[in-house]
Amino acid sequence: MPTLNVDESGRPGFGKRGVFGVAIFGRGNGTFGGKYYFKRRGNRLPYYHGHPNAGNRALVWYALTGGSQKLMVATTHFTWSKKGQATGKQRREARSLINIVDNIKPDVLCGDFNAPRGGEIFDCISKRLVDRIPQDTITTLDPELHYAGKLDLVVDGFFTQPRLSVEKVNLIGGISDHCAVVGIINL
């Protein structure tokens, strides 16, 4: 789902890339959906001018169906804040995001939440869904690829409904500035 047009270079290492957004890929029978939970400029796609929160915010999902079973996975790229501190903008956008989550009821919610575990925004989500990233995890940022280097912050989320059994949750570096979060969900 398009969220931003990157037509000029800027931090954190953006070059001209064109349309930027949130995506989810699925294989098998299923349906895709998505919704903006915050739009910055009405129906027009915002342009990036070096500001980290210039883009729209979106939640996208894939509902995989197989026989009598269904699994809905949703993902987002949430609003950034300096040093991971909760801001008024994050609070407003979190309320809007939570309204969509409460409505569609995904089995899995994942993504870059730009809000550290133990903080107000992360805890708001943890009250609805179970945080499946191992509690001994110190960071979800790749110290080799993240522009700020080594930061001990768990800002990525892998949340599920309590009824799901999840095992072998692992973080894999070397893919992006954030580690990939991988796990097995047993229905």
Q: What average pLDDT does the structure give for the chain? A: 91
- Overall number of domains in the chain: 1
Q: Give the mean pLDDT of 162-182.
A: 95
| pLDDT given for residue 150 in this prediction | 86
pLDDT of residue 30: 92
CA 79 to chain centroid: 9
Percent of the chain scoring above 90 in pLDDT:
72
Q: Is the pLDDT of residue 34 over 90?
A: yes
Whether 13 shows a pLDDT value over 90: the answer reads no
Q: Which two tokens stand for residue 10?
A: 């800027």
DSSP labels, 8-47: S-BTTTB---EEEE------SSEEEEEEEEE-SSTTSPPB
pLDDT tens string 38-63: 998 778 899 887 788 889 999 999 99
Q: How many CB atoms lie within 10 A of CB 103?
A: 8
State which residues form the domain around 38: 2-186
Per-residue pLDDT tens over the stretch 131-140: 999 999 999 9
What CATH number corresponds to the domain at position 112?
3.60.10.10
Cα-flanking dihedrals φ and ψ of residue 73, to 5°? -115, 130
